[in-house]
Every structure is written in structure tokens, then in C-alpha cells.
Copies of this chain bind each other. A is one copy, B any other.
Amino acid sequence: MKGMFVPHDETTVKDLGGGSSRRLLAWNDALMAAEVSFESGTEGALHTHPHTQCSYVLSGRFKYTVEGECKEMKPGDSVIVPGGAVHGALCVEAGTLLDVFTPAREDFIGA
């Protein structure tokens, strides 16, 4: 039973296309953290997954939508996306979200 330490400079960036990219951070089966960076004007299209998600704004500004409710978010703001909720984000000013999921997004592993 060990903690999984992940130095930021040992992570790799995956280009998601369309002006966004993702870094997979520390994770185990129960919890997974990832940074997702967006260029200004980039949209994270509406989508859904069974995992519960928390997004925390590390930098930039976003219009974030969950189940039709849209809020502008700035650094330090956070939101919970319940499992199954339709959500997406429009980047108003370039920046990075910290997304944490439970359970782990198996589709992010090795992707």
C-alpha cells in the first residue's frame, strides 16, 4: 500500500486536438487527477460519463456547463459534475483545469 507520487515534470502532455491538451497526474483505481489545458476560444464539447468529476480552475477563465446550467469560472472556483451529468466548457481566457475523477477514467490510461 504505497502512495503514488507524480512529479509534474515527469508527466507527459497528450494533444487532444482543437487547442486542448491533457496531462495525466497521480491516480489509482479510486481516484484520478489530470490537468486539461485550453487555448482561448477552445471548447470542451458537451459529453457525459458515469464517473463523478470535480473541476478546479488553476488558471484562465471558462464558461462551464452542467446539465444546462452555465457559470463563468475563474481561478480557485470549483464544480462537481455528478456521474452521468452532461457537461462541457468553453475557454474564455487560456488556462488549465484540474479535473479529478472517481473512479479512474480507464480510457485515459495509456491514451
Residue of B26, B66, B69, B77 touching A6 (CB-CB under 8 A) = B77
**Are A6's CB and B79's CB within 8 A?**
yes
Given A8-B75, A54-B100, is A3 in contact with B66 using a C-beta cutoff of 8 Å? yes
How many subunits of this chain does the assembly comprise? 2
Q: Which among B52, B79, B85 is the interface contact of A5 at CB below 8 angstroms?
A: B79
Q: Is A67 an interface residue (CB 8 A)?
A: yes
Give residues of chain A (35-87) contacting chain B, Cβ–Cβ below 8 Å. Answer: 35, 52-54, 56, 58, 64, 66-67, 69, 71, 73-85, 87
**Cα distance, A62 to B83, chains bound together (Å):** 33
- Contact present for B52 and A2 (CB under 8 Å): no
